[in-house]
Amino acid sequence: MIVRTIPDGTLPGGFLLIDQHDHGRVSGVFARNLSEGFVGGTLEDEALFAVANHDLAWVPLDAEPLWNREKDAPYSFVDYPAAPKVAAYSAGIDRIESESLYAALLCSGHYGYLTEGSDDGDERRFYREEKARRERLRDKLAPERLASEERDLAVLRFSDDLSLFVCLNEPGRNEHPFYRDGLRFRGERIFPEWHDEKTLGFAPDPFSRSFEVEVPYRVVGREPSGREVRRGSYRVKVST
């Protein structure tokens, strides 16, 4: 779950919530519009499937948000308890593997990157298990399929960052500490530039065309029951 605190005097309610899988699908829109020149070739369907579904694991977790009593807010993807989180990660990658071995390899690599070096025992175990999964999957995949693994994993991470940028920040702003110094793709720094509250550009421009992304959200109250106040969505035009 992506959680934004709603400023007083704006929308009714206390927190704006964006489901991780919805954010993942926005990542997929970003990936489909990256230019071949920027990524260094064509992105195959299995890679695009991985990008759009990399957070499928969060669907059951986000269906019933947990309340973080210490912070008096819903748990987000940043502070969610490790044990149920990595159990969901494993199950989600299993589902993706049933559709595409290569997509599962990329999603496993993405989650491995997120948990590498963790001090948490559950996350360390998950990291070891996913490393073994990736070795097993590579043994099953043809060398020509594996030739673009590193590039496609970089695209997944970059598209994830692009989507997180529009989900973590209020439209028209770049205030979240993750991206104040831009985003990175294979050593190149990319800077977001809001033209207005609905139009976003990037320099240098990584896209082949202008397009729109739609971000669904729900608003809940500030009480631990997480009472839903409303649902909605907002659109961002990405301008080239």
Query: What's the half-sphere exposure (Cβ side, CA atoms, 13 Å) at 129?
Result: 14
Q: What is the mean pLDDT of each run of 10 residues along the chain (240 residues)?
A: 80 84 98 97 98 98 93 94 97 98 98 96 98 98 97 98 96 91 95 96 97 96 77 96
Alpha-carbon span 75 to 62, nearest angstrom: 10
Alpha-carbon span 2 to 22, nearest angstrom: 10
Alpha-carbon span 158 to 188, nearest angstrom: 11
Q: Is the Cα torsion angle 99, 102, 106, 109 positive or negative in sign?
A: positive
Q: How far from 75 is each of 113, 161, 195, 221, 226, CA to CA, in Å?
A: 21, 20, 32, 14, 11
**SS3 letters across the chain:** CEEEECCCCCCCCCEEEECHHHHHHHHHHHHHCECHHHHCCCCCHHHHHHHHHCCHHHHHHHHCCCEECCCCEECCCCCCCHHHHHHHHHHHHHHHHHHCHHHHHHHHHHHHHHHCCCCCHHHHHHHHHHHHHHHHHHHHCCHHHHCCHHHHHHHHHHHHHHHHHHHHCCCCCCCCHHHCCCEEECCEEEEEEEEECCEEEEECCCECCCEEEEEEEEEECCCCCCCEEEEEEEEEEECC
Contact 204, 216 (CB under 8 A): no
Place of tokens 């019933």: 64
Contact 166, 213 (CB under 8 A): yes
- CB neighbours (10 Å) of residue 135? 10
Residue 10's pLDDT is 54
Residue 226's pLDDT is 64
Place of tokens 């809001």: 194
CA angle (106, 108, 110) in 5-degree steps: 70
Residue 233's pLDDT is 96
Alpha-carbon span 177 to 10, nearest angstrom: 22
Alpha-carbon span 31 to 46, nearest angstrom: 12
Q: Which pTM was predicted?
A: 0.95
Residue 227's pLDDT is 75
Alpha-carbon span 57 to 86, nearest angstrom: 9
